[in-house]
Amino acid sequence: MSDTSPGPDEVRHVARLARVAISEEEAEQFAGQFADILGYFETLDEVPEVERDTDLVNVMREDEIRDSLEQEDALANAPESEDGYFKGPNVS
Amino acid sequence: MSGNGTIFITEETIEGEADGPLAGKSVAVKDNISTEGIRTTCGSAMLEEYVPPYDATVVTKLKGAGATIVGKANMDEFGMGTTTETSAFGATENPVAEGRVPGGSSGGSAAAVAAGDADLALGTDTGGSIRCPAAFCGVVGIKPTYGLVSRYGLVAYANSLEQIGPIAHSVEEAAELLDVIAGPDEHDATTREEGADANYANATDGDVDGLDIGVPTELVEGADEGVVEQFWAALDDLESQGATVHEVSLPSVEHAVEAYYVIAMSEASSNLARYDGVRYGHSGGYDGNWNEVFSEAREEAFGDEVKRRILLGTYALSAGYHDKYYKKAQDARAWVKQDFDSAFEDVDVLASPTMPTPPFELGESLDDPLQMYLADANTVPVNLANLPAISVPAGETDGLPVGVQFIGPKFGEKQVIRTGSALE
């Protein structure tokens, strides 16, 4: 069990941040499961400080024009489109 | 649908374009790998109607090699699972163990090969998702080194961990498929040159004379007795062929499962933010404010395991918890890499049981996510360290398949393939 694991209210808050609506039941169920899972994650506190290798390199390519999807193909999976644009819900 | 629950989500034949090395071979493709004009669902209601407008690089290569794609194989939703029970299209049953899971998340791919519905299959492995179902279904699966195979066209779950790889009846067939899909790709900047002109099939000569095999004690201790018995029998077989076996210690792997899940969930929470039901995917047809419409569509179309991981990932990355979970997980990942590097100074390959248990019964693990996560203890260290590994069959315990895993150093595919082939 985790000392800091979220209760149902905090689970709902995280769900709002993640843009996933959840029911009351799910909030309760997830809160219980998160206590176990986050408690287990807390054993990461036993990991020593590790010097990380910096073997990361940037991969660059020439900035040249390439073919891309046709507009029709790009819109083909959209539930709604209009005049060559994606059509979404109101932003308010 | 075939006799063993849902093996394929979509059965559709795509003929190869040429007379290549895979001519006459049928291949099942996991349903998170894009196929032009054929729907690709990721086992999710979110993408039930999604039809990709382009092929993944591996699919282009399959077609070029003359393979016939016979269907899109069932999988845990977005690759999140160890059993192939979380698919929105129903569970897959293990074709060689009635009433049991095929393993996950590439369970449909492994089941297709085991049931004889395809000669070969492509799966994806983020934390063991090729090796686990290969072990549970009694077939061969290879998780390539990160960067060996292009991920272009793979629907992302956890980009820094996942690789596409082959599943087949024999090590040689798996190696032949790997030869086709390996190599650099201008569409994926994480690919490397090492796979160009690869000939892994040549390495299936079974020659393990003089090979040093290390057994990490930490990866054997928790396993079932019957699994451990088969594992040691496999190593005895290799010793009789001239290999030397000695125990090694990898203390970091004790923290690999936590690190893996924190990193995978964090990457998942970011990757799955793209499903807003506007450009593609389930929209729900709601009207009103963007955020509410977005949230409702995602509530409807994501399953429990996907929601759980998005929420936990969002939590682990949120202000105040980032250092506690994500940063610590990255430390653990670096530690795992260093541990493997030092082990490979003394041995050629490492060996462990692929899964600590035989296949679970259908429904057995669904209610306790933490228990399911713990089953991945032997496979996730490989993904954290970006290494190659193979799972090959190693007999049975109580009539259920057991798999043994060989892990190699970075781009050491030939070593693990050679070792695996010595057991056939």
A6 touches chain B (CB under 8 A): yes
Cα B17 to Cα B306: distance, rounded to the nearest angstrom: 37
pLDDT value of position B320 = 86
Q: Where are the alpha helices (DSSP H) in B163-254?
A: 171-181, 225-240
Non-local (6+) Cβ contacts of B302 within 8 A are: A20, B44, B45, B46, B77, B272, B275, B310
Are the C-beta atoms of residues B124 and B33 closer than 8 Å to each other? yes
Q: Within 13 Å and on the Cβ side, how many CA atoms surround B386? A: 18
pLDDT band at A2 (very low <50, low <70, confident <90, very high): low
3-state secondary structure of B151: coil
B384 touches chain A (CB under 8 A): no
Cβ pairs bridging A and B (under 8 Å) = 149
For the entire predicted model, the pTM comes to 0.96
Full pLDDT tens readout for chain B, 424 residues: 344 469 999 999 999 887 899 999 999 999 999 999 999 999 999 999 999 999 999 999 999 999 999 999 999 999 999 999 999 999 999 999 999 999 999 999 999 999 999 999 999 999 999 999 999 999 999 999 999 999 999 999 999 999 999 999 999 999 999 999 999 999 999 999 999 999 999 999 999 999 999 999 999 998 999 999 999 999 999 999 999 999 999 999 999 999 999 999 999 999 999 999 999 999 877 778 888 889 999 999 999 999 999 999 999 999 888 889 999 999 999 999 999 999 999 999 999 999 999 999 999 888 888 988 999 999 999 999 999 999 999 999 999 999 999 999 999 999 999 999 999 9
How far off is chain A from B287, nearest CA to CA, in Å?
A: 6
ipTM: 0.93
Active site amino acids of B: 30, 105, 129
Which of B279, B296, B322, B337 to mutate to probe the A interface, most A CBs <10 Å? B279
pLDDT value of position B366 = 80
Cα B76 to Cα B80: distance, rounded to the nearest angstrom: 6
Cα B299 to Cα A60: distance, rounded to the nearest angstrom: 39
B-chain residues near A90 (CB < 8 A): 287-290
Predicted confidence (pLDDT) per residue in B250-274, tens digit: 999 999 999 999 999 999 999 999 9
Are the C-beta atoms of residues B389 and B143 closer than 8 Å to each other? yes
Non-local (6+) Cβ contacts of A36 within 8 A are: A1, A2, B370
Judged by CB atoms closer than 8 Å, whether chains meet at B283 and A11 is answered as no
Read off the DSSP letter of residue A77: T
Residue B319: CB atoms within 10 Å: 6
Are the C-beta atoms of residues B136 and B397 closer than 8 Å to each other? no
3-state secondary structure of B62: helix
Q: Which amino acid is at B304?
A: D
A47 touches chain B (CB under 8 A): yes
A1 touches chain B (CB under 8 A): no
Residue B167: CB atoms within 10 Å: 34
Judged by CB atoms closer than 8 Å, whether chains meet at A47 and B335 is answered as yes
A-chain residues near B294 (CB < 8 A): 19, 89
Cα distance between the two ends of chain B: 31
Predicted confidence (pLDDT) per residue in A28-82, tens digit: 999 999 999 999 999 999 999 888 766 778 888 899 999 999 999 999 999 999 9
Predicted confidence (pLDDT) per residue in A60-73, tens digit: 889 999 999 999 99
Does residue B173 or residue A90 have the better pLDDT?
A: B173
Q: What is the DSSP string of B352-395?
A: EESSSSSPPBTTSSTT-HHHHHHTTTTTHHHHHTT--EEEEEEE
How far off is chain B from A53, nearest CA to CA, in Å?
A: 8
CA B251 to chain centre: 24
